[in-house]
């Protein structure tokens, strides 16, 4: 079974209570369950993590690179300025799907650009938590995914 990391950056642990007009009412616990259930149905072993600490995210990305594991990443605000996270993403040896719950292009100007996008396999933005489901489906369907072997 293919291990896939779903990694979430700062403030995403506050889903369901943070700016519900932007991020919706789905709680972080609901998101974890959604990703794990979706992954199980696709033959993926999904590990969902969230951190507000940059060093922890970097360690997780390094571990995924070492394992050649696919990553679904919502870098949160780090996507707009964090070159350390971008550089760690560039080390990944499997698919990287960048996910944003909100449409970052329809929000404040500073959110319109992601430094991570240039090293991502693909980017999904503005589809709510369904973006995670689509990202996991993409990972499972890739010809280089061990679940396809």
Query: 55: annotated binding-site residue?
Result: no
Q: Please tell me whether 111 is known to bind a ligand.
A: yes
Find the catalytic residue in 23, 55, 62, 138.
23
Contacts for 54 with CB less than 8 Å, ≥ 6 apart? 78, 82, 84, 85
Residue 114 assigned as binding residue: no
Q: Is 74 annotated as a binding residue?
A: yes
Residue labelled with tokens 């070492």: 66
Alpha-carbon distances of 58 from 8, 80, 87, rounded to whole Å: 12, 16, 9
CA distances for 4 relative to 29, 129, 145, angstroms? 18, 17, 10
Residue 80 is assigned to a ligand binding site: yes
Catalytic one of 100, 112, 113, 138: 100
> Residue 21 burial by CB count (10 A; 0-12/13-18/19+): exposed, middle or buried?
exposed
At residue 78, φ and ψ (nearest 5 deg) are: -60, -25
Q: Mark whether 23 is an active-site residue.
A: yes
Q: Is residue 93 marked as binding?
A: no
The verdict on whether 112 is a catalytic residue reads no
CB atoms within 10 A of CB 97: 25
Active site residues: 23, 100
**Binding-site residue positions for substrate:** 74, 80, 87, 101-102, 111
**Binding-site residue positions:** 74, 80, 87, 101-102, 111
């Amino acid at each position: 079974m293919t291990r896939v990391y779903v990694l979430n950056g700062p403030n995403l642990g506050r889903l369901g209570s943070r700016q519900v007009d932007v991020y919706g009412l789905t709680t972080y616990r609901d998101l974890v369950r959604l990703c794990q259930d979706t992954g199980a149905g696709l033959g993926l072993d999904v590990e969902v993590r969230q951190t507000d600490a940059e060093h922890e995210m970097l360690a997780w990305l390094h571990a995924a690179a070492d394992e050649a594991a696919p990553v679904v990443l919502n870098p949160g605000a780090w996507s707009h300025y964090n070159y350390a996270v971008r550089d760690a993403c560039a080390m990944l040896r499997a698919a990287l799907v960048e996910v944003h719950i909100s449409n970052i292009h329809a929000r404040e100007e500073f959110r319109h650009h992601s430094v991570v996008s240039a090293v991502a396999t693909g980017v999904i933005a503005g589809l709510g938590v369904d973006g995670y489901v689509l990202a996991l489906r993409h990972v499972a369907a890739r010809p280089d995914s061990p679940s396809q072997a």
